[in-house]
Amino acid sequence: MHVIEDGNTAAAFGVRLCRPQVIAAYPITPQTPVTERLSEYVEEGSLKAEYIPVESEHSALAVCIAASSAGSRVFTATSANGLLYMHEQVQWAAGARLPIVMCVVNRAVGAPWNIWNDQQDSISQRDTGWIQLYCADHQQIIDAVIKAYWLAEKVSIPVMVCYDGYILSHTFMPFELPEQKKVDEFLPPFQAEYALDPNFPANLNTVTLPDVRYDTRGELAHGYMEIRCLLQEDLRKALGAASEGEKMFAQIFHRGGDPYIEPYRCDDAEYVAVGLGSLTYQLRVCVDTLRKEGVKIGVMGVKFYRPFPDEVIAAALKGKKGVIVFEKALSYGYEGALASDLKAALYSHLSGTGKMPPVFNFIAGIGGREIHTKDLTGALQSVVKGGAAGEPAWIGLKL
Amino acid sequence: MGTRNYRRKTSHSEHGPGDGGRTGSWRVERPVIDQSLCIPCRRNKEACFICWLYCPEIVISRTIPPVVNLEYCKGCGICAEECPTKAIKMVDEANFAQDKKKRE
């Protein structure tokens, strides 16, 4: 069924289709409508879940961690400072290997206070051990939520579904609403590998010593380092699992195909613009404009940011004359995090081949600063004309 | 010896003594019960047991007299704080170390 709704409602529709059993969230702009929709669904009975209103984001994720440990499928959503407030629990959820799905509606973080869109919030959570997906339109939001549950439960790692505040969350767009029957086929009920049971008490994630030790059964149990290494190994394996999930999804819903990247006019391109989220769709307009002028240019959206699909990205950018990374976030003190990750991937896979493209970094739209398409086009033109790669350049800065 | 084939990928432990190691070695002060003040000892009745109830490590027995399992008692002193007759005193572990030396 085709519907026209806003991005937050697309997310809420996706969540309802996945039949979560426990939802705990604390409202924060621009995420609020997601939680409002879900509470309405629970109230009207169209979603049979326990909706737990909490006093903070830290508690929201703590509730999800507990409910997930007890074997429930759970959901939460947040933005900006709310995400930062739950940061401790974010790390915990990953270490505890709980398949939680959380929507992050991207917004700038304070100080100074700002409620508009950029991606500093979720980018700052890059190293927490969560899988991070970035969406460029409403169809991707609803599909990503459904795929997120499948992937999270497959690899026992939590997933963040990130989409731009306002630009996606509050704008209306048509999208295909999947049938419940098909979603049930794709996503069977959650079967936890281990669920808390009052009849068999256990301690979860208690103090772990620096070295391995014998547990109360006399079995050799992991030390902290082993547990963390297994998380890293399984995150890397999640790349393969995502591909498997995407294939299954495409068979059932006839959409999708590549879980990692979304290239546009990249096949014969000499220059490729790269970004996360809705910005890459705006860049398509610039690409079309420059193509008319005879510039061989394309744009590639990165949909899967953690674990980083380094091999796929390096292969896609091999031999290009220039890679231009546009970011709505910054690793303060250096450059955009995506630009750094991308350079590392290119270095790992293309070093010494003579096909390693230079990487240019532009910072745009911080704190909701309007990104004019002509400015993006201008930035691309400056690179094509032979700009030198260096410090990240700010677009639309009035300083 | 590795733990790769251990059945779980997280820290998981079931109920049992000493799961966090022999925590008695963490102790700086040891709880010592004065039986002339302890209510169940004086009355020879199952009574009070506030120390047993409050001990966060479940190392005090519900017996007459109450016995502290020193292998796991961390010496937090909550029993001494809660004892209504002040029958429990926290004594510096150094005293016991010296006693041991004298005996040797």
At residue A274, φ and ψ (nearest 5 deg) are -130, 145
Element (H or E) spanning A300, and its range?
A: strand A297-302
**Which of chain A's residues have a Cβ under 8 Å away from the Cβ of B11?**
203-206, 208, 221-222, 224, 227
**CA A291 remoteness from chain centre:** 30
Is the C-alpha dihedral spanning A81, A232, A255, A68 positive or negative? negative
pLDDT digits (tens, 9 = 90+) for A179-202: 999 999 999 999 998 899 989 888
CB contact under 8 A, B20 and A207: yes
On whether any CB of chain A is under 8 Å from the CB of B5, the answer is: no
pTM: predicted TM-score of the whole model, two decimal places: 0.87
pLDDT digits (tens, 9 = 90+) for A319-343: 999 999 999 999 999 999 999 999 9
| B6 → closest Cβ in A200, A201, A219 | A219
User: How large is the ipTM?
Assistant: 0.76
Q: Is the Cβ–Cβ distance between A105 and A8 less than 8 Å?
A: yes
- C-alpha–C-alpha distance, residues A317 and A141, integer Å: 26
- Report which of residues A211 and B78 the model is more confident about: B78
- C-alpha–C-alpha distance, residues A154 and A186, integer Å: 12
* Surface of A (225-244) touching B: CB under 8 A: 226-227, 230-231, 234
**Which of chain B's residues have a Cβ under 8 Å away from the Cβ of A209?**
21
Task: Return the CATH class of domain A261-394.
Answer: alpha beta
Closest CA to A20 of A46, A58, A55: A46
CB contact under 8 A, B3 and A223: yes
- Token representation of residue A232: 């890293």
- C-alpha–C-alpha distance, residues B80 and A339, integer Å: 59
Closest CA to A362 of A352, A351, A349, A377: A377
Using CB atoms within 10 A of its CB, is residue A218 exposed (0-12), middle (13-18) or buried (19+)?
Answer: exposed
Using CB atoms within 10 A of its CB, is residue A265 exposed (0-12), middle (13-18) or buried (19+)?
Answer: middle
Domain ranges of chain A: 2-186, 261-394
Amino acid A387: pLDDT: 81
Amino acid B47: pLDDT: 94
| B13 → closest Cβ in A206, A220, A230 | A206
pLDDT digits (tens, 9 = 90+) for A123-166: 999 999 999 999 999 999 999 999 999 999 999 999 999 999 99
Whether the pLDDT of residue B56 is over 80: the answer is yes
pLDDT band at B104 (very low <50, low <70, confident <90, very high): low
Which CATH number among 3.50.50.60, 2.30.40.10, 3.40.50.720, 3.40.50.970 corresponds to the domain A2-186? 3.40.50.970
Q: Is the Cβ–Cβ distance between A328 and A136 less than 8 Å?
A: no
- C-alpha–C-alpha distance, residues B22 and A326, integer Å: 54
On whether any CB of chain B is under 8 Å from the CB of A217, the answer is: yes
Q: What is the mean pLDDT of chain A?
A: 96
CB contact under 8 A, B10 and A204: yes
pLDDT digits (tens, 9 = 90+) for A199-247: 988 889 988 888 888 777 777 889 999 999 999 999 999 999 999 999 9
- C-alpha–C-alpha distance, residues B23 and A132, integer Å: 40
On whether any CB of chain B is under 8 Å from the CB of A66, the answer is: no
- C-alpha–C-alpha distance, residues A16 and B92, integer Å: 60
Element (H or E) spanning A193, and its range?
A: none
CB atoms within 10 A of CB B71: 12
On whether any CB of chain A is under 8 Å from the CB of B21, the answer is: yes
**CA B52 remoteness from chain centre:** 9
Whether the pLDDT of residue A95 is over 90: the answer is yes
Whether the pLDDT of residue A175 is over 70: the answer is yes
A2-186 against A261-394: fold identical? yes
Name which of A227, A234, A237 to mutate to probe chain B: the one with the most chain B Cβ atoms within 10 A of its Cβ: A227
pLDDT band at B18 (very low <50, low <70, confident <90, very high): low
CA distance B73 to chain A (A): 17
- C-alpha–C-alpha distance, residues A62 and A68, integer Å: 10
Alpha helices in A254-309 (DSSP H): 279-292
